[in-house]
Amino acid sequence: MSTTDTSLETKKGPEADGDHIHVEVSPNTAVAGDGGFRHAAERGQAATDKYGHSLVQLDPKAESKLLLKLDLYLLPTVAMLYLFCFIDRANIGNARLAGFEQDLGLTGYDYNIVLSVFYVSYILLEIPSNAACKWIGPGWFIPAISLAFGLCSVFTAFVNNLSQACGVRFLLGAFEAGAFPGIAYYLSRWYRRSELAFRLAMYLVMAPMAGAFGGLLASAILTLDNFGSLTGWRMIFAIEGIITVGLSLIAFITITDRPETARWLTQEEKELAIARIKSERVGTTAVLDKMDKTKLLRGIINPVVLATAFIFLLVNVTVQGLAFFLPTVVRTIYPTSPIVTQQLYTVPPYLVGAFFTVVFPLISWKTDRRQIIIAMSAPLGMVGYTMFLASTEARVRYGATFLVTSSVFALGPMTNAQVAANVISDTARSSAIGTTVMMGNIGGLISTWSFLPSDAPRLSIHIPYSIQARMEYGIWNAPRMEAYSIRMEYKK
């Protein structure tokens, strides 16, 4: 059915609640029914009034059917890409157990230096990468960088000294810089704010899964005598990199830029997908806007973005520290176990982390609340680190890693969904997500120096613990930043 003129009647009185205005939609308001619709916003008109109330009513059954279709088509590809993105980044921890340091002649802090150079390029290119993702389009950008960082993993199998290892890791960071924020931005083109945290979780869960699966895969690879001329830890980088390259080639076919260009959606489904996004963005007349400097800066300096990005920085100290050093931590707990067994001990904590990475965002989706979930999940990590520091018993220390993983991984999708939900324009959202992930990876850079050779064999991880404690301050401030940001957006 065609869209006719829309009108709104507002009233205050017994039904009004403070500053909230109850909106009654007139019979002329556009309705999405089974027969389809042409929504006013499709022709460049706003999908909401200035108070954020939708000017259309969407058919819940049609919307549920579309949501399932989006989930089944969009999420598997990006989830698999991010799984191997994280594996290619963190497999150096597994390679360390298999003789990486000894073969390259690394001593002292050399291993920490190799980890650090990854984050130098990663941090510098975070925001430019997400701007490039918007400009080029996710359909080309995400598969292209995936191909590049897969090749970097393969090249790591052939390094022979510290300089070569640092060079390859620098390139790996440059290409992986666009993966996390690019996928988050890509999904924000398709999902409502309340839906986004859970969908982000469905690919970010691959971070703890990468730890679990990466440990299993590394263990399996190390049982091989050789892979061509490669042996030992070199096989880990080569085989896992080749898998990434294969997935990137598939992604060139399966990743679609936006609803308008999705060949796998009918015309009615395209219109509904566009209407869903516009219907909750105040005054928005287009899902994809023209990039300009003002909007980019607005996404970067938004108070909610800065407060949440700082929280994500603190979170990432723990997340990335686990990715790089959990195999080493396990070795200090079970020093007499065979290398393959030590690799396998890293799997269960990651599986627990993966479970909670899905559970917390699922609760957020169903309740449409994010900040309270962020606040609830943070203390678990503090308890885990306290147990680790306070005990010398192997079973207690190993159990502490489960508490840490159950907390920290879920904060990735929650913080990025919080940012995406609090900016309006598509351009500002791309820079806001880029800023958040950039700050997060400053935390990753810090994490590379949180486990030092001088701490062995106890590995008293005082830096992540103290930062985890300070995280509460940022969480406490976030609601105030959100209220301020909303007021500023309404003034604009």
Where is average pLDDT lowest: 242-246, 381-385, 469-473?
A: 469-473
The ranges assigned to domains in the chain are 8-58, 60-491
Residues 308, 479: Cα–Cα separation, whole Å: 10
Give the pLDDT confidence of 307-324 residue by residue, as tens digits.
888 888 887 777 777 766
Percent of the chain with pLDDT over 70: 75
What is the model's pLDDT at position 200?
Answer: 85
Q: Which residues lie across from 38 on neighbouring strands?
A: 2
What is the model's pLDDT at position 281?
Answer: 55
Which comes out higher in pLDDT, residue 173 or 347? 173
Percent of the chain with pLDDT over 90: 24
H or E element at residue 10: strand 8-11
Residue range 93-108: mean pLDDT, rounded: 89
Q: How confident is the model at residue 252 (pLDDT cuts 50, 70, 90)?
A: very high
**Whether residue 161 has pLDDT greater than 70:** yes
Residue range 393-399: mean pLDDT, rounded: 83
DSSP string of 299-338, one letter each residue? HHH-HHHHHHHHHHHHHHHHHHHHHHHHHHHHHHHSTTS-
**Whether residue 386 has pLDDT greater than 90:** no
Residue range 46-67: mean pLDDT, rounded: 68
Long-range contacts of 219-225 (CB under 8 A, 24+ apart): 219/340, 219/343, 219/344, 222/98, 222/339, 222/340, 222/343, 223/340
H or E element at residue 281: none
Residue range 26-34: mean pLDDT, rounded: 41
What is the model's pLDDT at position 360?
Answer: 85
Q: How confident is the model at residue 164 (pLDDT cuts 50, 70, 90)?
A: very high
Alpha-carbon distances, residue 136 vs 80, 245, 416, 450 (angstroms):
22, 20, 22, 37
In one letter, which amino acid is 371? Q
Backbone angles phi, psi at 237, to 5 degrees: -65, -40
What is the model's pLDDT at position 311?
Answer: 81
Residues 108, 452: Cα–Cα separation, whole Å: 9
Q: Of the ranges 2-11, 23-32, 168-177, which is most confident?
A: 168-177
What is the residue-averaged pLDDT of the chain? 77
What is the model's pLDDT at position 160?
Answer: 94
Give the pLDDT confidence of 409-465 residue by residue, as tens digits.
887 788 878 787 777 667 777 788 888 888 887 887 887 776 666 565 555 554 455
Task: Supply 184's token pair.
Answer: 């988050």
**Whether residue 75 has pLDDT greater than 80:** yes
In one letter, which amino acid is 418? Q
H or E element at residue 27: none
Q: Is 232 left (phi over 0), alpha (psi -120 to 50) or beta?
A: left
Give the pLDDT confidence of 124-133 residue by residue, as tens digits.
998 898 889 9
**Residue of 202, 185, 451 whose CA lies nearest to 320:** 451
Q: Of the ranges 209-213, 230-234, 353-357, which is most confident?
A: 230-234
Which CATH architecture fits 60-491? Up-down Bundle (1.20)
What is the model's pLDDT at position 385?
Answer: 77
Alpha-carbon distances, residue 462 vs 76, 388, 449, 458 (angstroms):
38, 10, 11, 11
What is the model's pLDDT at position 468?
Answer: 55
What is the model's pLDDT at position 101?
Answer: 92
**Whether residue 181 has pLDDT greater than 70:** yes
The model carries a pTM of 0.69
The 3-state DSSP class for residue 32 equals strand
The 3-state DSSP class for residue 229 equals coil
Question: Angle at Cα 126 formed by Cα 120 and Cα 132, nearest 5°?
Answer: 135
